[in-house]
Chain A
Amino acid sequence: MGLLEALNNTALSIYMRESLWGYPIALTLHAIGMGLLVGVVSIMCLRVLGMFRQIPFSGLQKWFPVILVGFLVNLCSGTLLYLSDPVNLIKNAAFDVKIILVFIGLILLLVMKATPAFKNITNMEPTAIGGSSAKTVAIISLIVWISAITAGRLTGYISAV
């Protein structure tokens, strides 16, 4: 725990605890980034599963930069929020589960990008849907992101107890 305690005493960590605006601003950015990341990934999964078939499949390519923006906002804001209480958050089971789920969700997104439907994305029929591998990844992704949000919400309740 020596490392986490050292982290806890860094200027940034103290700033996130004691400043008036540091924590609320990071928290707000985290909700905005979540909306972009989880919202766009979920809608992409639904498109892969067959909803919104009017949207050309190749168009999904353009959604990845939007997802990346959401991810980067949340990586930065999430790191800052974590720094506000690094020792106790690690001990918070809901927080640990959330981090693992986010990690799995991001890996699943890369796995989805590697499925035949996405490897072939520019040549897909406009109304195409994902093959069985992309669809499977899409269903698991939706469950993982919903679970990640749930665990994230519960983090506050467990630390408050």
Chain B
Amino acid sequence: MIYLDSAATTLQKPKTVPRAVMKAMYQFASPGRGGYAAAMGAANLMFQCREFAADFFDTSAPDQVVFTSNATMALNIAIRTLVKPGMTVVMSCYEHNAVTRCVKAIPDINVLIAEGPLFQPEKMIESFRSQLKQADVAICNYVSNVFGYLLPIQEIAALCREKEVPFIIDASQAAGCLPVSVESWGAAFVAMPGHKGLYGPQGTGILLCGAHVMPEPLLYGGTGSASVEQDMPDFLPDRLEAGTANVPGIAGLLEGLRFVKEKGTGRILRHERHLIQRAGMQLKSVKNMELFLAEDASVQTGVLSFRIRGMDCERIGQRLSAAGIAVRTNLHCAPLAHQYAGTLDTGTVRISASAFNTEREVDRLVEVIRSFA
């Protein structure tokens, strides 16, 4: 199979990842629930992962690294902490349902959309600049999951600091291929999955908490600390980590993080971007092809959307699947992004690369598309 759906989940993992998962399943118990070797081994592993992530993502302390089930859970915690009824929230027009549905579930919220055409970061900066004047909270994804559009997150973060508006960053498509710096951005929260560009197992995610934020718990329960108290602990990470931790998942995530650090985010991005550009340049000549390929490659990551006039995206996905090629089709859980890009009625076909894809795979994708387009 040629797997080109890494924006959903990376399927090919470094060999160290499943090995670590298996080892953890056989050797580790619940961290924070005992002083015996199997429990303390699990605790040491989690701490190693916290320390690694804190250093890699420039977070003030390992305590500020919270393990979640996915980026959606992390975003829910962040949004529910900062967004309260009656507030005004500004978000980019490229947000995922993990953001938009969560905000909509909070009553009486005034939502402002920072608009800007695809691959034009200056327009997005201007839009945030004007909307932030009225905002209580700002939310933006670092990279659009539909189009691979690299949003000007550093500039938006600077505007948020200037206006003193708490900023939530959805780094779902960025973590692993772009630098993340909680401290220098001054972000309130940065959310990311463990199973995409960080090459960890499904069921892992990370919420990086800014130094001066005390988040609201999403789950309530045992933490192995302050057990007499009936309120959740007032310290991190315990406050947000009720219940038994996903130790095997975190073991795999740690190995995924090590892989990314060793390879280098810059190198991974260059590789993925090269593959997408290669596919894009070849697909341009396909009849009725509509490609969402940036003229300036520096504002697009390893994600490319396209559609073929007169062909249903789902049908294209089926044809590719029959040829052994895995891609994502339709709305990618981001109707807002499609609405602003003008693709809400059709959706798109999305190809997304990982560090494990090759030129040959991309060329085969083009060959198959040519055969039916």
Q: Do A and B associate with each other?
A: no
- Give B residues with C-beta under 8 Å from A: none
- Give A residues with C-beta under 8 Å from B: none
